[in-house]
Amino acid sequence: MDELIRALVLGVVQGATEFIPVSSSGHLVLVPALLGWPHKGLLFDTMLHWGTLTALVVFFRHELWAVITASLASLRHRSLADPMARLGWLILLGTLPAVGLGLLFKDPLEALFGSPRGAATFLLVTAGILALSELWGQGRLGRSLQELGWRDSLLIGLAQALALLPGISRSGSTIAAGLARGLRREDAARFSFLLGTPVFFAAGVLQLADALAGDPVGLGRQLPVLAVGFLASALTGFLAIRFLLHYLRRHSLYLFAIYCAGAGLLSLFWLR
């Protein structure tokens, strides 16, 4: 029963913090460390990420289908006249930095996930990124997704690559980059979520391959724990996406910046 409760807690943590800009990677390092829980393994982490991917696909199913079909059609017609096709290729462009850097620095990046103090320190960096993006974008937020260009996509993609570091929020860094480029808050969040879909899928496939290669029978043995973590992550992630899109229509990122600063400082004090 203890294992199932831990899986439920970590699934909720992953689902909420993946999309709310407070860093899921940082929380998944810090929460077990602060509570004295052992790491549940790569296979469990993989299922949590598949849960958040499921939440993304379900929530944005109509947009994702339109983007995919329009992008494929653009190959046949050799035209980007369709805004959804253009958006699809911008998502692909924005995905490249994180994929390239993730493959290039895979081992040293994974080593950082064993450092709770490092994750707490990077939470402070996330707080600074969120606050600075609001200051930088003040009075300049008016662009829509239809106005997004390849430079915008590449810069937001580079911001996404920063989130390979535990404690740097993927949604936070990409939304912040969108605000810095003048996107409206809700549009910056929407592009951030859509941009995460191919990254989550690629990371999930690689993680699953690594997990099954190391322990091919682990999937069956851990099935109840994996199922609880997956379902908790998927349901919480869906609710977190809906909450944040609604929240950003009228509010800034300062609340999340304050949270990240507080969580980082308290964690550093607790772990000293």
Q: 97-106, 122-131, 241-250: which range is least confident on average?
A: 97-106
Predicted confidence (pLDDT) per residue in 33-80, tens digit: 888 888 777 678 888 889 999 999 999 999 999 999 999 999 888 888
- pTM for the complete prediction? 0.90
Average pLDDT, the chain: 88
Domain residues of the chain, as ranges?
2-271
Stretch among 88-92, 134-138, 210-214, 226-230 having the lowest mean pLDDT: 210-214
Those residues whose C-beta lies under 8 Å from the C-beta of residue 87, and which sit 6 or more positions away, are 67, 70, 145, 148, 194
Q: Scanning the structure block, which residue is given the tokens 């994974």?
A: 110
Asked whether the predicted pLDDT for residue 5 surpasses 80, the reply is yes
pLDDT in tens, 217-259: 555 677 888 899 999 999 999 999 999 999 998 899 999 999 9
Kindly list the distances between the CA atom of residue 209 and the CA atoms of 30, 36, 177, 216, 243, in Å, as whole numbers in the listed order: 25, 28, 32, 9, 33
- CA dist 198 → 69, 119, 195, 219, 266 (Å): 15, 24, 7, 24, 34
pLDDT value, residue 146: 86
For residue range 150-175, list pLDDT tens digits in order.
999 999 999 999 988 999 999 999 99
